[in-house]
Amino acid sequence: MASLAERWGIHPDQYWLYGRPVEEPVRFDEEMDAWHICGHAEVLEALSRPDAFSSETIKLVPMGAEESYTEGDLLQTDPPDHGALRKLAARAFTPRVVADLEPRIDALARELLDAVDGQDEFDLMSALAYPLPVTVVTELLGIPASDRHLFERWMTGMVEEMGDLSLADSAEDQEATFGAAMDHMRRMLDYLRDHVAECRRAPRDDLLGGLIAAELNGRRLTDNHIVNFAKMLLIAGYLSTTMLIGNTVLALDHFPEVAARVRADRSLMPGLVEESLRYLSPVAATYRATAADIELGGKRLTPGKMVLVWFGAANRDARVFPDPMAFEPSRSPNPQLGFGRGIHFCLGAPLARMEGRIALGRLLDRFPEIRTDPDKPPAFMAAPDTTGVTSLPVRVTR
Ligand code: HEM
């Protein structure tokens, strides 16, 4: 049987998805002027050394980004500032907060599926996988429902533009691509700035209200901190969850015997979500900047270079995952790296797991059969550091 990647032609650069083993766990790419880290052990080592692998990668982009875009963004912050900011952010994601969201997410999933009930064919992404996570994250931020579509547009626009950004391009080309992505970003930031100002005028008891009242190192957060924090949640929490839902449906379609097992035994659901994150990791890669002389995987890395840390490749490492091409929800242990590792480990992981479990559970409850449509293949995200679909036409039975 052809692999899932071959069947749909997913990013050929991510050759590990086609079953080809990674030959060099750490490799320098002359054309990109960047390192690739692909081995599971090597990825873990890099993520455990924020002193040598800095998250403040924006400094390596030729035009550089203004400080004002990154302050308050955990994903662009190194220790020691990262620790204090993360502690503050973690208050928004206590197990209690996440558990309280469950009935709302469940109701949302049902409502969205009600809207396609009666149809034999629909696009899974626009029916469920886009609207569910964007609703959850915008509700967390207290953004009115009527403005939700704006975020869908800005976020997908940004991801698509950044997908065209290649470190191998000339500085001018990089600047043009980056500029186009930043246009979407600026519109989103302008909106969030007005929204934060509104929250200051009329204080409220929600996540943003909490941040407005909170202190970081003894000082109140600035509007810019809060705006960037909200931007980070939108970037980190929305499309990755969308991709998780789409990817799992795609995998269940490709492995119908697994779908039958999961339908018969719902206790496999949490394992299904973990295996989906391993098999088709939405955040296929993250970025770091070398900040010290360091040896990794037998190579010498020097400061000031971009590093692509490939979760997707590490998740197919046969040294850690026996039979990595098999899609096995009962795989145990399953030390998949889809949520990253170390100090930047995904803060929203419990929420994302719950959203995935509920969305997929409701789908399986509603439709006894869900299959891809051979006449309408799924379309994949263009960004080479993501693995996920933008459209996924399905045929269902009721
Ligand atoms: C960080 C993946 C959903 C919030 C990360 C990282 C990964 C990741 C790989 C680490 C990035 C790095 O080390 O550079 C995912 C995936 C998700 C998901 C695959 C869905 C399936 C969410 C959700 C939220 C969220 C729903 C919140 C609404 C965050 C935050 C960070 C983060 C705040 C930054 C943590 C830090 O830097 O300390 N995520 N994420 N994520 N994620 Fe998620």
In DSSP notation, 24-72 reads -SEEEETTTTEEEE-SHHHHHHHHT-TTTEES-GGGGSTT---HHHHTT
CA of 260 to the centre of ligand 1 (A): 30
pLDDT in tens, 225-284: 999 999 999 988 899 999 999 999 999 999 999 999 999 999 999 999 999 999 999 999
Residues having CB closer than 6 A to ligand 1 are: 74-75, 86, 89, 137, 232-233, 236-237, 240-241, 244, 282-283, 286, 311, 338-340, 344, 346-348, 351-352
What is 4-397's CATH topology? Cytochrome p450 (1.10.630)
Q: What is the mean pLDDT of residues 198-217?
A: 88
Which residue do the tokens 């490799």 mark? 27
Taking alpha carbons only, the member of 18, 11, 13 closest to residue 380 is 11
Of all protein residues, the one whose alpha carbon is nearest to atom 42 of ligand 1 is 346
Task: List the structure tokens of 319.
Answer: 């040294």
For residues 205 and 10, which has the higher predicted lDDT (pLDDT)?
10
Instruction: Say if CB 240 and CB 294 are below 8 A apart.
Output: no
CA of 360 to the centre of ligand 1 (A): 20
- The domains of the chain are located at 4-397
pLDDT in tens, 36-66: 999 999 999 999 999 999 999 988 876 655 6
Q: CB neighbours of 18 closer than 8 A, spacing ≥ 6?
A: 3, 5, 6, 12
Q: What is the mean pLDDT of residues 94-122?
A: 95
**338 has pLDDT over 70:** yes
pLDDT at 61: 76
* H/E element, 155: helix 148-163
**Is residue 193 exposed (0-12), middle (13-18) or buried (19+ Cβ within 10 Å)?**
middle
Of 88, 243, 309, 346, the residue with max ligand 1 atoms within 8 A of its CB, to mutate for a pocket test, comes to 346
Average pLDDT of the residues of the chain: 93
Range of lowest pLDDT (14-23, 158-167, 281-290, 328-337) = 158-167
pLDDT in tens, 167-194: 566 777 777 777 788 889 899 999 999 9
CA of 243 to the centre of ligand 1 (A): 13
Counting from 1 in the atom list of ligand 1, the atom nearest the Cα of 243 is 21
Q: What is the mean pLDDT of residues 193-217?
A: 89
DSSP 8-state assignment for residue 119: -
CA of 236 to the centre of ligand 1 (A): 5
Of 57, 94, 339, the residue with max ligand 1 atoms within 8 A of its CB, to mutate for a pocket test, comes to 339
pLDDT at 322: 97
b/e string for 97-107 if b means 16 or more Cβ within 10 A?
ebeebeeebee
**Is residue 44 exposed (0-12), middle (13-18) or buried (19+ Cβ within 10 Å)?**
middle
CA angle at residue 42 from 39 to 47, to 5 degrees? 120
Instruction: Say if CB 50 and CB 185 are below 8 A apart.
Output: no
